[in-house]
Structure 1
């Protein structure tokens, strides 16, 4: 949070734009920490600027944040997001019959890890043009000013980026296959079928459970299969996407979240499971309502 004075009209105006600026920077950079740094720098630049010379404060701030984000991308200084376990309770959870986080163009409040992976394959200029135009509806002429290119050239950048994103999302088979593996695991866990559990678990799988007593980690397929009962009840939950990963969420009868599970699947086997059964952590998460 910038050190601002509540009676300062410029500071008040900036605070009115802060959430949007943070969203822009996070979508471009894929890092909450970098986004906060960029927004703070934007405030510092505004505080040194004669506000009377700015006709459109929102547009001016978006341009500044865009240029700062572009500088970070081009310098390679972006900090990757930390693991799911370390980011709790900041994960993004959507039910699978609702728009998934990777459907960026249709979603206004989050970016899933699946899409961040796709965006990482884009060049800095492509990434900025795509995010600013397709997500935030910034005109190509304004994006061109940030990139130092014409509006037509910027439009071509965004179009090329859009094709790459769509191509990366087209198959869908990988996601379906991952969910089939997760369903097989949940069914085997619910029925106590040990051998079937071993078939879908990677030999070096990590199983992390967040409980009211702390975080507990189990390593190895045999040990995880033995302790998989904590996930068995989730088979009655609702399939979800947890930061781009297949997951399951379950609720009590009064609608209180009971558990959240997220799975990482590679080559047809589960390599990582994160389970949250701590009511305090679940209460802090922005979880969807029961269906």
Structure 2
């Protein structure tokens, strides 16, 4: 909801930029709620500014949104558990009915959602440089000013981010290989095949479970494999879904209420991240498909 007045020329100019600014903040932060907060804060700062001192409104607003988003990202780094909780309800879950999505629109949407997951692997400065330059064509000198760094340093950050994104993004389009790896993991979990679990898990795999009593994180293939059998029963009764564009499994109780959502990130033929939501309160906040 906008607090701006449509009769105010400054407000009209801001409203013309609002969608673009929201898109910038959302790519930076991966959260619609946080993006709205950032855009509203940008409006408040603009409303306190002398319009005569702003020669390029679009550039000024992009800089402000970039700086506020950077502050939010750095704050999250200091409190990672808070950012996880804030974004958990924004997982997008859809039934994965086709083995390989052929439709260009479906695939583009899937990759777009997966990109947000990939961006989480970047540091705040890398993420800002990559998002602003590669996704929104902001010049490096402006990015450098936002970061308090030179133009050359901004280019280097974007280049480093680009390499990371390419290394991870390529496998994130959900295809047959990813599904095969996830199915191999689930089958091994049901059989209790420890060796096979270790084969499909990255040595540094991260398991994040959202439970009613809080978020529990487990690191390393040995520990994750040891606990994998605990969720195997529920997963066996589940249906294949896409979770933010990543392969996943969702299961329901007998009365049709959601029981769990699992999402898998597969890189280079191995599972690098598993996210599990079993907290009924969190599941209730999510827009989930009904059982067939």
TM-score computed with the length of structure 2 as normaliser: 0.58
Residue 131 (str. 1) matches residue 131 (str. 2):
yes
**Residues in 1 aligned to 2:159 and 2:188: alpha-carbon distance in whole angstroms:** 45
Within a 5 Å distance, the mapping from 1:54-93 to structure 2 comes to 54-72=54-72, 79-80=79-80, 87=87, 89-93=89-93
The aligned counterpart of 2:235 is: 231
**Residues in 1 aligned to 2:19 and 2:274: alpha-carbon distance in whole angstroms:** 33
**Residues in 1 aligned to 2:144 and 2:66: alpha-carbon distance in whole angstroms:** 11
Decide whether the 8 Å contact of 2:110 with 2:246 is kept in 1: no
The aligned counterpart of 1:285 is: 287
Q: Which runs of 5 or more structure 1 residues have no equivalent in the other structure?
A: 211-220, 251-256
Deviations 1:154-175 (A, max 9, x none): 3343223322433455788xx9
SS of match in other structure, 1:137: coil
Deviations 1:191-212 (A, max 9, x none): xx6545997599xx998799xx
Residue 115 (str. 1) matches residue 116 (str. 2):
no
Larger helix proportion, structure 1 or 2? 2
The aligned counterpart of 1:163 is: 163
The aligned counterpart of 1:3 is: 3
**Residues in 1 aligned to 2:226 and 2:154: alpha-carbon distance in whole angstroms:** 53
Residue 49 (str. 1) matches residue 49 (str. 2):
yes
**Residues in 1 aligned to 2:29 and 2:78: alpha-carbon distance in whole angstroms:** 7
Decide whether the 8 Å contact of 1:115 with 1:244 is kept in 2: no
Residue 142 (str. 1) matches residue 142 (str. 2):
yes
Shift of the 4–60 alpha-carbon distance from structure 1 to 2, 3 Å rule, reads: same
The Cα of 1:247 is off from its aligned counterpart by 0.8
TM-score computed with the length of structure 1 as normaliser: 0.58
Residue 247 (str. 1) matches residue 251 (str. 2):
no
**Residues in 1 aligned to 2:29 and 2:87: alpha-carbon distance in whole angstroms:** 17
